[in-house]
Amino acid sequence: MSLKDHLKELRRRLVIGVGAIVLGAVGGFFLYDWLFDLLAAPVLEYGSEDVNRRNEIAFNTVGSPLDMLIRISLFAGFVISSPIWLYQIWAFIMPGLKKTEKRYAIGFIAASVPLFLSGIWLAYMVLPQAIEFFFSLNPEGTANIIQPDIYFTFVLHLFIACGLAMVLPVVLVGVNMLGLVTGKQILNSWRWVVMLIALMSAIAAPGGEIITMFIIMAPLTLLFAIAIGLCLLNDRRKDKREAREREELLGATPVE
């Protein structure tokens, strides 16, 4: 494909992906009250048995409820439409793959959606621990009256970051299949990757809670290790195929 054709294909994939998110946001509109209560629960339920402590999520402008409705609906649309926009990403990459490699890409598409949703679920599981840690720093007798735009921005960014972090190993394998990076190059950077995973896990598990940090870090590290193994396996297969093609060009017996 020419550069112009690539840009047209990219535009088409973006239109489909964004359209799917918008349609998903329509569904998210009907789930707004349920999602708001679900995400606000860690704040409102903290210290509820203490009559001296009051936690509230309070809108401070007239237009804030509408702004929050749009944000949460779009987030819901982003999650609901994840099979579609994740497919558009891979569909844009797949034309650069050979026929024998496309079936692996289809498998990676199927893996991306549950991994993305698992990352969001993981973020939701650690959210109460994060809220508990921050609120535990309050002086005795004080209250937390939180602006929704600040709180929900923190929550939604955490969810999206964890979801995309779970998909990153799949992206690494896809980039490797395109020949942009080798498995050995990824393996050589494992120290930096593990450090970044540990740092992100520590941020998501404030207060130094080792168990919560491990719950986040373990699956990300395991997925990264699996991605390295698949990349190395793919490189080995490519090397064998290229060696066989060279032998065939020279008129020799193909390498087994």
Q: Which two tokens mark 206?
A: 């404030």
Higher pLDDT among residues 31 and 48, named by residue: 31
- In one-letter notation, the amino acid at residue 110 is A
| pLDDT for position 77 | 92
| pLDDT for position 21 | 92
126 has pLDDT over 90: no
256 has pLDDT over 60: no
Q: From start to end of the chain, where are the E strands? A: 55-57, 144-146
31-35, 107-111, 118-122, 222-226, range with greatest mean pLDDT? 31-35
* CA 164 – CA 117 distance, rounded (Å): 9
85 has pLDDT over 90: no
| Inter-residue contact 79 to 123 (CB < 8 Å) | no
**Whole-structure pTM value:** 0.72
- In one-letter notation, the amino acid at residue 8 is K
| pLDDT for position 199 | 75
203 has pLDDT over 70: no
Higher pLDDT among residues 15 and 181, named by residue: 15
Give the model confidence (pLDDT) of 49-72 as tens digits.
Answer: 655 566 788 888 888 889 899 999
Give the model confidence (pLDDT) of 137-181 as tens digits.
Answer: 777 777 778 888 888 888 888 788 788 888 888 877 777 776 777
